[in-house]
Amino acid sequence: MLSQEMIDRIIDEAFDVLGTIGLQFEHPKALALLGEHGQRIDRAAERAYLSRDFVERAIQSAPKRFSIWNITGDRSIEVGGDNVTYDPGSAAIKMLEVDGKVRPSTSADYIRLARLVHQLQNIRASSTSLVPSDVPIEVSDFYRLYLAVQNCDKPVVTGLFREESFPATLEIMTIVRGSEKEAVEKPMAIFDACPSSPLRWSVLTSESIMQCARHGLPSEIISVPLTGATGPVTISGTLVVHTAENLAGIALAQAVRPGAPVVYGGAPCIMDMRAGQTPFGSLETYMIDCAYAQIGKTFGFPIHSYMGLSDSKLVDSQAGSETAMGVILAALAGVNIVSGVGILDFITCQSLEKLVIDNELCGMAYRLIDGIRHRHEKMAIDFLPEAVKAGHFLGHPTTLKLFREEGYMPGKAVDRASAPQGGGGPSDYQRAQTIVKELLAREPFHLAPEKVRELDKVVLREAKEFGMEALPAFAG
C-alpha cells in the first residue's frame, strides 16, 4: 500500500507533530508523568510535547509480541508477527432481528452472542461487543466482561467507559483466574483506549492506558482520525495524525512501566461528505487500515484494525462484499487483532446471522494466508502413473489423506450443494438462521458456580450505587 519512502516520511512527520504541535492530555497525572520523564509540558493548555528520543526509547521497550489467554487459562493466542485473530469487535448498541427490525441490545442478546462466538472456530477471540440497555450505563463496561467470562471461553477484547470501572474490572478477572497474580501473568483481556482525534487524550483514555500498564495488562490504542473531519482530508495526512496518536499512547504506557504490552491500532475512516457518514466498510477505509498496519509493523508492533464489518443495515450483498474485502485484506496485511465480524450500520448493530456467515469468511482468509504448500519431494510425478491408469485421483491415498488440508471445508452457511430440482433453495441468511438455532441449543460454556456467585456479588455491589438492585433475568 505504501512505499518505504512514504512510510519513512509519514513517521518523520508524526515525530515532528509530537515535538512541535504536541498532544493534549486532559489527565493531570499523565501530564505530570510525562514531565517527570523530561518532556516539555504546557499545563495551562494541558499539552505535552514529546521528543523523538523519548518516543524512540518507548518504541524499543514496548513488547513486539505477547500472549492472551482463554478464560480457563489453558490455551493462549500470540498477538504479534503475522498471526491473525478475528473478534466481533466494538460496542454495538443495537441488535438486528431475523425479520430485519432493529432494537436496543439487552443482556440476553449478549449472552446469545457470546455463546455463539464460543462455538465459531474461526472467530478466535471474544469481545464485549454489545452494550446491554437493561443495566445502568455506569456499570455497562465491566458488566459486559462479567457476561463474557461466563459464556465464552475465548480471550476478550474489551474496554472501559468510566475510569472508576477499572477496579471492578480487575476484580472480575482476579476471581476468574483465582488471584491477581494469575490475572496478570495470563491476561484474558485486551483493553481498548480511544484517543480523541485530532491529538487529544481524555482523562478516561489516559487512565485506561496507565492502569493497564501499571498492572501489566495489554492495551489496544484505537486512534480514529476521520479524513476531512477529525483528520486531514488526505489519506497520507490522516496517517500522520494516526501515527502520532499511537506513538503518544505507547510512550505514555512505557513511561508508566517499560515493557507494558500495547497494540498499535485504530479505526480511522474516510469521510463521506455527501452523507456526513463514516463508511467503515469502504475501500478507502481499508486502504488506510492496511497502510497503518505497514507503519506499525515498521516499528515491530502488534497491529489491530476494524476490518470485518459492513455499513449495510441488513445482512445482504453489500454486507457480504464489504466484510469479505476487509477480512481478506486484514489477513494479507498481517493484522493481528481484526475486530468487527458480525457488525453492521457504522459499528452500531450486531447480527448473529452475519456472525455465522462471517465465521466462514474468516476460515477462507486463514486458508488464503496458509498458502500453497510443497508437501512432497515431487509435487505430482510420483502419483501420475497410478492415477493415469485409473483415470482419476479420487481413490489415491494422498487424496484421501490431504483433501481436507488443501481445501477449506466451509460449514452449512456456504452453499456448495447441487441445486434442488426446480432450482431455488434457502439463502445464506436463512441457512445462518438455522445454524444460530442449532448452536444455541447446544450445552453452553459454564464457569464454576462458586466463581459465578463471587462475580454476581461484585456486579451487584458496584451497581447498587446506580439504582440496580438485581441482575437482569438472563444475567445470573
Cα separation of 210 and 251, whole Å?
Answer: 11
Residue by residue, DSSP assigns 256-274 as HSTT--EEB-B--B--BTT
Domain architecture of the chain: domains with CATH: 4-59 (no CATH), 63-370 (3.20.20.480)
Please list the residues that pair with 192 across neighbouring strands: 159, 220
Q: Say if residues 322 and 281 touch (Cβ distance below 8 Å).
A: yes
pLDDT in tens, 378-409: 778 787 888 888 899 898 888 888 898 899 99
Give the mean pLDDT per block of 10 residues along the chain (476 residues). 98 99 98 99 98 99 99 98 95 96 98 98 98 97 98 98 98 98 98 98 98 99 98 98 99 99 98 95 98 99 98 98 99 99 98 98 98 82 84 88 90 91 88 98 96 98 96 74
CA 322 to chain centre: 17
Phi then psi for 309, rounded to 5 degrees?
Answer: -130, 175
Burial class from Cβ neighbours inside 10 Å (0-12, 13-18, 19+) for residue 160 reads: buried
User: What nine digits make up the cell of 276?
Assistant: 456526513
Cis, bond preceding 198 (omega within 30 deg of 0): yes
In this predicted structure, what is the pLDDT of residue 475? 56
Cα separation of 267 and 452, whole Å?
Answer: 34
Terminal CA-CA length for the chain? 48
Q: Say if residues 281 and 225 touch (Cβ distance below 8 Å).
A: no
Region class of 371: left (phi > 0), else alpha (psi between -120 and 50), else beta: left
pLDDT in tens, 416-425: 988 887 778 8
Burial class from Cβ neighbours inside 10 Å (0-12, 13-18, 19+) for residue 372 reads: exposed
In this predicted structure, what is the pLDDT of residue 166? 98
